[in-house]
Amino acid sequence: MTQLPVLNLSGNATATTSDGRRPTLPPRHLADLDLAGRRAAVADLGEPAFRAGQVSAHYFGRLVRDAEAMTDLPARTRAAITEALLPPLLEPVSELATDNGATRKTLWRLHDGSLVESVLMGYPDRVTVCVSSQAGCGMACPFCATGQAGLTRNLSTAEIVDQVVWFAGLAARGALPGCPDRLSRVVFMGMGEPLANYNRVIAAVRRLTEPAPEGLGLSQRHITVSTVGLVPAMRRLTQEGLSVTLALSLHAPDDDLRDTLVPVNQRWKVAEVLDAAFEYAARTGRRVSIEYAMIRDVNDHPWRADLLGRLLSGRLAHVNLIPLNPTPGSKWDASPKPVEREFVRRLRAAGVPTTVRDTRGREIDGACGQLAASGGGKVGEREGGLLARRANEETQ
Ligand code: SAH
């Protein structure tokens, strides 16, 4: 009998933070509140309500995160506004860059010492940020580095939004060579299981997509929420009236294998999880993205491609194959390229649109499944080295 990983679905974290403290949610921040809530918070300070709009326009419209830089606020109110609406949430601990600065990974320390990472990816036509929704993750997928340490805690709405606003500010300052200066896409594919932190993630999506000064004004279609397949939460998402892209981390078309690769499958089986994904597609008209890490001799067999093809044929879905990224201590490798090509061929022959994801960020452990918040290096310390090494490689 196969030994299956033990799964903690309660959402109760057991870990402590990086410095041994008990994990706690951060103080309230303006991005936790809608505009009405921000007005009420400002009124509590004895300030006129319009200040809420001013502060929000700075934060979401001009990507200014520091009240001291909001020079149209009276100097005497800035400290109180900081305390009530702009407490610092993310302290950068290290920043790594590659691809000539077009891919950047930042490790943040949160107010309680929890560590999370986000990755920025610049392309000629778009800038995407991959955000974390939890510190750690409780889903225990054995091939994913984040899953190995367990869950520390959920992130607050503002801790999620602030990752995006920080990077949007970086892009706006022209930090990404050869890329647009407007950050346009957000993928919830960093640390954590977004649908296990449902309310805060949905509030973050709303804040990211409402027009300024209420929010950041991104298009819902340019936001991707990825899940291991928490079926009740997927059904709830279907009812939200949002048109975000849903990604489902399937990784195996059969229950025997998926029970081990994505332990939550022990609770919600392949047929049920696909059904929930198809319902989302039917309700929103948005094609769902089926994520499938290609693991040598584990899930890359031709018969599995054929089975996946049968499950998805004629559905509003496409497959995104991810060559397995290396993680510490893992016994698994990526599938050889010819095996990957055959897998793609069979899926396409079944009429299923299929792409292979690039492995952006691998050399800085910033690719899918590599985020583990292990620390190391001060801000900028390793960046120069990496950039220099990269430049060398390119001239050789
Ligand atoms: N918990 C959510 C969000 C994380 S998204 C989810 O699982 O969907 C990160 C994606 O990268 C998921 O599809 C995940 O299964 C995949 N992944 C994890 N470890 C990986 C690895 N080592 N190589 C390639 N992809 C990996």
Of the candidates 117, 159, 291, 383, the residue annotated as catalytic is: 117
Residue nearest atom 24 in ligand 1 by C-alpha distance = 324
Q: Has 137 been annotated as catalytic?
A: no
Q: Which two tokens stand for residue 185?
A: 């896409």
In whole angstroms, what is the distance from residue 216 CA to residue 227 CA? Answer: 23
- Ligand 1 centroid–CA 44 distance in Å is 43
Atom of ligand 1 nearest to the CA of 370: 22
Q: CB of 89 within 8 A of CB of 110?
A: yes
What pLDDT sits at residue 26?
Answer: 96
Atom of ligand 1 nearest to the CA of 139: 1
Q: CB of 87 within 8 A of CB of 27?
A: yes
pTM of the model: 0.92
What pLDDT sits at residue 360?
Answer: 81
∠ Cα 206 211 217 (to 5°): 75
What pLDDT sits at residue 5?
Answer: 54
What pLDDT sits at residue 231?
Answer: 98
- Ligand 1 centroid–CA 226 distance in Å is 9
In whole angstroms, what is the distance from residue 194 CA to residue 227 CA? Answer: 7
Ligand 1 pocket, residues with Cβ under 6 angstroms: 139, 141, 143-144, 189, 193, 226-228, 249, 291, 293, 322, 324-325, 327, 368-369
- Ligand 1 centroid–CA 195 distance in Å is 14
Residues 6+ apart with CB under 8 A from 48: 42
In whole angstroms, what is the distance from residue 45 CA to residue 35 CA? Answer: 16
Residue nearest atom 15 in ligand 1 by C-alpha distance = 249
- Ligand 1 centroid–CA 227 distance in Å is 9
Q: Which of 117, 143, 195 to mutate to test the pocket of ligand 1 (most atoms within 8 A of CB)?
A: 143
Residue nearest atom 1 in ligand 1 by C-alpha distance = 193
Residues 6+ apart with CB under 8 A from 205: 220, 223, 225, 242, 244
Of the candidates 141, 144, 179, 368, the residue annotated as catalytic is: 368
Q: Has 368 been annotated as catalytic?
A: yes
By the 10 Å C-beta count (0-12 exposed, 13-18 middle, 19+ buried), 216 is classed as: buried
What pLDDT sits at residue 344?
Answer: 98
User: For each of the chain's 396 residues, which pLDDT tens digit applies?
Assistant: 445 555 555 555 657 887 888 999 999 999 999 999 999 999 999 999 999 999 999 999 999 999 999 999 999 999 999 999 999 999 999 999 998 889 999 999 999 999 999 999 999 999 999 999 999 999 999 999 998 889 999 999 999 999 999 999 999 999 998 999 999 999 999 999 999 999 999 999 999 999 999 999 999 999 999 999 999 999 999 999 999 999 999 999 999 999 999 999 999 999 999 999 999 999 999 999 999 999 999 999 999 999 999 999 999 999 999 999 988 888 999 999 999 999 999 999 999 999 999 888 888 888 888 888 765 444 433 333 233 222 222 222
Long-range contacts for 202-209 (Cβ within 8 Å, ≥24 apart)? 202/237, 202/240, 202/242, 203/32, 203/157, 204/31, 204/133, 204/157, 204/160, 204/161, 205/242, 205/244, 207/31, 207/157, 207/161, 208/161, 208/164
What pLDDT sits at residue 395?
Answer: 27
Residue nearest atom 11 in ligand 1 by C-alpha distance = 368
In whole angstroms, what is the distance from residue 71 CA to residue 67 CA? Answer: 8
